[in-house]
Amino acid sequence: MGGLPCRAMEKMPQRWLDEIASWIESGKDKTFSGHPRSRYHSAAPPLDLGGHQRGSSQVGARGAPHTFFPGDELVVIRPACQSYKSSSKVIPPVAKKVRYEMEMFGDVHVDDYYWLRDDSHSNPEILSYLKTEKDYTNQSLSTRTKKVDDISAPIRRGSYYYYERTLVGKDYNLHCRCLITNDASPPSVYDVMPTGPEASAEHVILDENIKAQGHEHYYLGAFLPSPNNKLIAYARDTKGDVIFTIYIIDADKGTAIGNPLKGVTSYIEWAGDDALVYITRDESGHPDKAWSHKLLSDQSSDLCLYHEKDDMFSLYIYASESKQ
């Protein structure tokens, strides 16, 4: 019931509460009758229920106010939304608790949900429970989320605006760009990508929906144009283990450039137009090494630029503002 205060509920007879519960369960319009309408004239003003309309109409269309008179107050109630009936029956899953003790630095930490960890991603019991979580989320949001096509905020890189587009009915993003026809002015925070008839033609560089075909899991951890905007480096994970493969493609044609870089992280940066710097992990999953890769060369010949040997630190890489 949208906005019905507890103080109003406390004043209602039990038969009214039962009737309200039955009405909400049915999802149908309902007129509640209590004291005669004439009682309203000597009653206190109607309650203001969180922005709902005040009034004394007793019959209306679905979602219109419904009135009744508990004691000497006029109470207005309405369903929270038209889909209240279906959403109210969604029961969230509850994970079981299995006591697990971990001793660290002389302290014992109890984690009742440690059993949900499965690095192999193959435990049937865990996968089954995660599916119930997913089903619950989808069912809860299905009646409350209006899906529409969406576009990310464009980012200007040189002579292009880059952005991501999401389409209704599609699970993954489209990575796009538009040419800036008048790029004489330097990039600014006030730049606005033209739309409509004045906009340049949109070019879809990579459609994740196509790339994801044949994979149960697909995630893009990085999508990075080269400084001259001729190449794209992107990192993808198709297993869910956060171990990525880096691909380099021609930005216009989408054709592959050289062989992919395997077993790496998604932390990558361009070092000029013909070289990449990327990070790898050690056996424990700790990001520890930075590598330089020359385009069209074999990964085995890549140069290790830095090795972080202290496992208390993790290694990441970001380009400087000057790009130098």
Q: Are residues 45 and 133 in the same domain?
A: no
pLDDT of residue 196: 81
223 and 320 assigned to the same domain: yes
Give the pLDDT band of residue 185 (cuts 50, 70, 90): confident
Q: Specify whether 15 is located in the same domain as 44.
A: yes
Same domain, 102 and 15: no
Q: Domain total for the chain?
A: 4
- Comparing CA positions, the residue from 76, 99, 85, 87 lying closest to residue 8 is 76
Report pLDDT for 82.
Answer: 42
Q: Which of 147-156, 183-192, 279-288 has the lowest mean pLDDT?
A: 183-192
Return d(Cα 201, Cα 179) in angstroms, integer: 8
Which alpha helices (H) appear in the chain, and where do they start and end? 6-10, 14-26, 84-88, 124-142, 208-211
**pLDDT of res. 190:** 82
Residues 237 and 150 reside in one and the same domain: no
CATH number at residue 305: 2.40.128.660
Rounded CA-CA distance 121/274 in Å is: 37
Q: What is the DSSP letter of 256?
A: B
Question: Token digits for 56?
Answer: 């004394």
Together in a domain, 175 and 230: no
Look at residue 207 and tell me if it is in a domain.
no
Q: Residue 39's domain spans which residues?
A: 6-87
